[in-house]
Chains A and B, each alone.
Chain A
């Protein structure tokens, strides 16, 4: 009797453990499509999204070559493309070497199609193609005459215009609406997954985290993206990192970078919401979602959208702070008549990241209205240059128009105001490179006079 009890208890505990650990991993999920009689057992598939992450990483690495045709090949997702990034590094061995080994897809067809007010009112595809063309005209993807760092601009903008846009506007937006991609039908003819299953999976793919991200802490997820932690990446223990499911990309990487500071928990929050949402769909077992199920699913969707938007806003905040610091440093060097080359390059890089993330933020479902106008104006079309000029627009031929820049001090102030804007409008809390945090700390140290006292 006692032995039976111990056996049952052990089985129960083991089962609970397996269930808990599986709940921390996105997939596999069973086939629920009614009438499916094929041999598939896992309904999860987001290979196209992970292929796009590899296309994006490779495109980013290519910008500095200035080879526009190669850039376009990755942008358009042509056949037989080698993975340029991420590649194996030391003991961090990557499983795939070709994009097609992950999946198929392109970036061009998934770009945000709306206007990009921060980039001369071009449409999304026009803006990124303009950037790539310009990158082809300069050395190493950087134009010292305009301060444009195309590696950063293209990468950060593409992350928003493709991944964020597709996930939040399309798969978690339009395709979550009633009547769109119903759960009692295949996603498309011949598919083994339902409409809602696949829509949700595709959004998860664009998010860019490893499927087992919840089993890791923020630092470990961050180190996976940095190719520093093979043990954490190789979840199935096959000795290689599968770029489909075991790697951290794009905004998921930025989320981990903020979370490791300890003030936020974006990556875990988003991944948990993705898993919980997917379980709601799984539990519907191939029938249309009930009102209650749909309400719960949309609540998870909102968690994902809000936190994803915050991750991008945190990035705008961070790079506005970096740019501010660079401006102060440049000012000091100029006053001492020193060599500004290196400091200017760093400044341009940080401004490029700021601009790219700011453009990305505008590719979401919300019309940011006044916030977008303020943000775009304050950071300018281009960075303020050392000769007090600045790119202010683009002509019909795609050439940059330069004019008298914002005042140097005013530009610095704008960086601080951008940080404040991100705090006020998006409630950022990680606040990396917060230029006012020391002031806030000192203010807290002095304390406030909140009791009525007469001296």
Chain B
């Protein structure tokens, strides 16, 4: 019974907690931004804007329905797993202890700094480090075959809605949770050690002010069919919704582009930035003619595990044959026996 209550609370928290991406106010603001985009920029009527924004084909597609199911299932899985995951406080405490052993550091060495300075620094640092870690992990998720098998679940979406953020394999959820714990622990422990116990965060509704701004300015439109674009200069700094949608495009030239979450500068620095393009219907997914089965729950949950297993077996066999080849050359293995 307690488990069910916790589960339902967890689900509702996603929509009523300002720390969550799909907090209803953020969704509402995204809808307003979308209207603004269509009416004032695209010069469409209110009715046609409405039809475009609340497109039935998008929200009730097989892909989107899978997103909703995955959201509900993952909520339960993560609820059961999260107590076993290392917390940011445990890591922060270990790091804080470790800093005490470094001779050239002393606790509170910059504690005389004005609070407004170190609170601002902490707020910026925490947001930037978190965003960079998201970028770098995302990049790895695309570059390493095993990680790609997992991340592919997210990219198998053929329509994008704000709920597509939850189309994530639980293994990837664990990776993201660890990433988040580590980055938060680093920023908290470093700042506490250097600036003392008054370190704090500038927040709005309890959320880092930058995360809040990111969310009220339409973070939910990243996963949508509304291709809002920014000025080119701004797309070097902030990722526009259209840039992220392009990241989901099946077009070869869009592969491995725009890994960033809020900031585009990481992609710019690492050479993976791609400016947004004008499109009516961008083809989203992994490949052309993607089979309908890629949205089934078994495919989404078990598929990556099979792929990882096959990958490991393939690697093992390849290494084995290399060893045999090496030893047969050195004469340590009898060729007849191998045959």
Residues of A in contact with B (beta carbons under 8 Å apart):
328, 331-332, 409-410, 412-413, 416-417, 420, 435-436, 438-440, 442-443, 445-455
Main secondary structure of the interface of A (DSSP, over half): helix
What's the Cα separation between A436 and B79 when bound, in Å?
27
| Residue pair B92, A439 in contact (C-beta under 8 Å) | yes
- B77, B93, B177, B197: which contacts A438 (Cβ < 8 A)? B197
- B19, B134, B170: which contacts A452 (Cβ < 8 A)? B170
What's the Cα separation between A410 and B107 when bound, in Å?
12
B315 neighbours in A (Cβ, 8 Å): none
B236 CB–A CB distance under 8 Å: no
A450 neighbours in B (Cβ, 8 Å): 78-79, 82, 85, 177
B261 neighbours in A (Cβ, 8 Å): 455
B181 neighbours in A (Cβ, 8 Å): 448-449
- B21, B88, B206: which contacts A443 (Cβ < 8 A)? B88
Distance in Å from the Cβ of B321 to the closest Cβ of chain A? 37
Listed A/B pairs (7) with beta-carbon separation below 8 Å: A332-B108, A410-B101, A439-B89, A439-B192, A442-B188, A453-B21, A455-B138
B256 CB–A CB distance under 8 Å: no
B201 CB–A CB distance under 8 Å: yes
| Residue pair A442, B78 in contact (C-beta under 8 Å) | no
A409 neighbours in B (Cβ, 8 Å): 100-103, 106
Distance in Å from the Cβ of A404 to the closest Cβ of chain B? 16
**Residue of B whose beta carbon sits closest to that of A415:** B100
B34 neighbours in A (Cβ, 8 Å): none
Q: Which of B39-47, B161-169, B266-274, B287-295 sits within the interface?
A: B161-169
Q: A438-B199, A452-B74 are in contact. List 17 more A-B contacts (CB 8 A).
A: A409-B106, A410-B101, A413-B100, A438-B197, A439-B89, A439-B92, A442-B188, A443-B88, A448-B82, A449-B179, A449-B180, A451-B173, A452-B77, A453-B21, A454-B164, A454-B176, A455-B165
B97 CB–A CB distance under 8 Å: yes
Q: Given contacts A438-B199, A446-B188, A446-B208, is CB(A454)–CB(B154) below 8 Å?
A: yes
What's the Cα separation between A439 and B201 when bound, in Å?
12
| Residue pair A416, B97 in contact (C-beta under 8 Å) | yes
Please provide the chain B residues from 168 to 194 with a CB less than 8 Å away from any CB of chain A in the complex: 168-170, 172-173, 176-177, 179-181, 184-185, 188-189, 192
Q: Given contacts A417-B97, A436-B93, A438-B199, is CB(A452)–CB(B168) below 8 Å?
A: yes
B75 CB–A CB distance under 8 Å: yes
Q: Given contacts A413-B101, A446-B88, is CB(A452)–CB(B126) below 8 Å?
A: no
| Residue pair B192, A452 in contact (C-beta under 8 Å) | no
- A328, A435, A446, A453: which contacts B176 (Cβ < 8 A)? A453
| Residue pair A328, B108 in contact (C-beta under 8 Å) | yes
- A331, A449, A452: which contacts B166 (Cβ < 8 A)? A452
| Residue pair B92, A453 in contact (C-beta under 8 Å) | no
What's the Cα separation between A204 and B167 when bound, in Å?
61
B96 CB–A CB distance under 8 Å: yes
Q: Given contacts A453-B176, A455-B138, is CB(A443)–CB(B100) below 8 Å?
A: no
Q: Given contacts A446-B184, A452-B78, A452-B170, is CB(A413)–CB(B126) below 8 Å?
A: no
B102 neighbours in A (Cβ, 8 Å): 409
| Residue pair B173, A452 in contact (C-beta under 8 Å) | yes
| Residue pair B166, A451 in contact (C-beta under 8 Å) | yes
A332 neighbours in B (Cβ, 8 Å): 108
Distance in Å from the Cβ of A285 to the closest Cβ of chain B? 43
**Residue of B whose beta carbon sits closest to that of A412:** B100
B203 CB–A CB distance under 8 Å: yes
- A438, A439, A454: which contacts B168 (Cβ < 8 A)? A454
- Point out which of B89, B164, B167 has the most chain A C-beta atoms below 10 A from its C-beta: B89
Please provide the chain B residues from 63 to 115 with a CB less than 8 Å away from any CB of chain A in the complex: 74-75, 77-79, 82, 85, 87-89, 92-93, 96-97, 100-103, 106-108
**Residue of B whose beta carbon sits closest to that of A455:** B261
| Residue pair B89, A440 in contact (C-beta under 8 Å) | yes
